[in-house]
Every structure is written in C-alpha cells, then in structure tokens.
Amino acid sequence: MSGTRFCLCGIVIALVLNGCAGRASRLPVDSAELRTQPQIFVVHQEARTGFLIENTGYRLMGPTILGGILQGNQSASVQFNLKLEDPVIHGKERLARTLRENLDLKNMTIVPKAYQKEDGQLAEIYQGGVVLHLQTVRWGMDNQRAKYSVVARLQDMRATSTMWAKACEIVVDKDKEAPSQDELYANDGALLKVKLRAGAETCADQLFASLVEAFGRSR
C-alpha cells in the first residue's frame, strides 16, 4: 500500500470522526418507545481497515511510499502472526448488555455474524425493525498503546432513517507508561488483545452514555 493511500485513509478517518464525535443527534422518542419496537437488532460490520501500527517514527517519515510500505507490512505481519481480530464484537456485546439491563430492552437481538454489503441492504434484511449498527473505523496501536475507534448508528428500517449516531476514539492507558513491545507480543499477543478489547469496551460505555442521554431512562 503506498504512502499516498495511507495519507488519504487518514484524511477519510479524520473526517468521519470529526463529523460524528461529540455530536449525537437527540431523538424524538424515549426508551419506552424503544421497548415497543418489534425487534432491535445489534449488528456489526467488518472493520474499515486492518490492524495498524502507528508511532512517532512513521509520523516523522511522513506520507512517503517507503513509509507506507514499511508500516503496512509491519502491521499486517503482526496481525497475522498474533492472530489479532477486530475487537468490535466485544464492544457490541457490552453495549447490548448494558442497554438491555439499564433500559430494559428485552426485544434486543445480537446478530453474531458480521454484516456484509453483499448480503443486501440492512433495510431489506431487517424489515420493520430497528438496527443498532457498529463498525470499527481504526484499530491498532500507537507508540505501544492500543488504539481503537468506532462509529455507531441507530437506524429505523421502516423509515430508513438514522435516529442516532456517535463516534468514539480512544488510546488505552494514554496517561500511563506504555508496555514494551515484548510485553505486548508475548504469549501470542495476550496483553495486546486485552488492551484492544479494553478499548472497544470503553468506547461501548461512551456510546451507552450518549444513548442514555438521547433516550432517557424512562421505564
């Protein structure tokens, strides 16, 4: 992958996050109306990018062809050798669980398989329901700290409208000393996997707080 493509990817990600982060549309309904929905399907889509290693060295190199190749090859190699997987599933399950417990949404169904565009439009698959859709924007590590960002949307499939949207980006343990590469990669990347999961679950908590603010706690 060329440095130019990495640069463009970064610009797109920045636009997505800046467009969604810190802005959650306020809903005209409350949690009581959510509970009357026939079904609320919680789905996830495959990440927009693979695992990405970022650090000061790569940033100093700038958007060069060589830097892009080195960064892409290192990132892909680490993902393959450590069998790393997008942690969105952990965030999805945590968000669904906290919503069910706190807003009493018993009509919620977690769809285990990742949504693929070739499966058809969400409105066609989940006719008459509401879909809570999550997609990882970026996942990896930055200067030895796990980094994760996700976009979530609540969509009414009957009206094909977005009821709520929010983005989250987090660097795990940003204010703590970063673990060494050896510590992160030991035991098939056990610590790195824990940190990535923590990033996804922390974002899930932030998304939940935004949804509660939008819908309220009415029972």
Higher-confidence position of 36 and 152: 152
Cα 78 from Cα 26, distance rounded (Å): 40
Which CA distances in Å does 95 have to 42, 69, 157, 191?
Answer: 9, 36, 20, 23
Taking only the tens place, the pLDDT of each residue in 41-97 is 999 999 999 999 999 999 998 889 888 999 999 999 999 999 999 999 999 999 999
CA–CA–CA angle 128, 131, 136 (5° rounding): 155
pTM, whole model, 2 decimals? Answer: 0.81
What are the helix (H) ranges across the chain? 3-20, 31-35, 56-61, 65-81, 88-103, 122-125, 181-215
3-state secondary structure (DSSP) of residue 135:
strand
Is residue 26's pLDDT more than 80? no
Place of tokens 């009414």: 156
Q: Which two tokens stand for residue 8?
A: 């463009």
User: What are the structural domains, with CATH classification, of the chain?
Assistant: 3-215 (3.40.50)
pLDDT score recorded for residue 9 = 40
Q: What is the average pLDDT value for the chain, to the nearest integer?
A: 84
Cα 41 from Cα 23, distance rounded (Å): 23
Taking only the tens place, the pLDDT of each residue in 115-158 is 887 777 887 888 878 999 999 999 999 999 999 999 999 998 88
- Measure the N-to-C terminal CA separation of the chain; round to a whole number of Å: 51
Cα 176 from Cα 30, distance rounded (Å): 39
3-state secondary structure (DSSP) of residue 12:
helix
Cα 139 from Cα 85, distance rounded (Å): 9
Cα 144 from Cα 189, distance rounded (Å): 12
Cα 210 from Cα 206, distance rounded (Å): 6
The confidence band for 216, taking pLDDT boundaries of 50, 70 and 90, is low
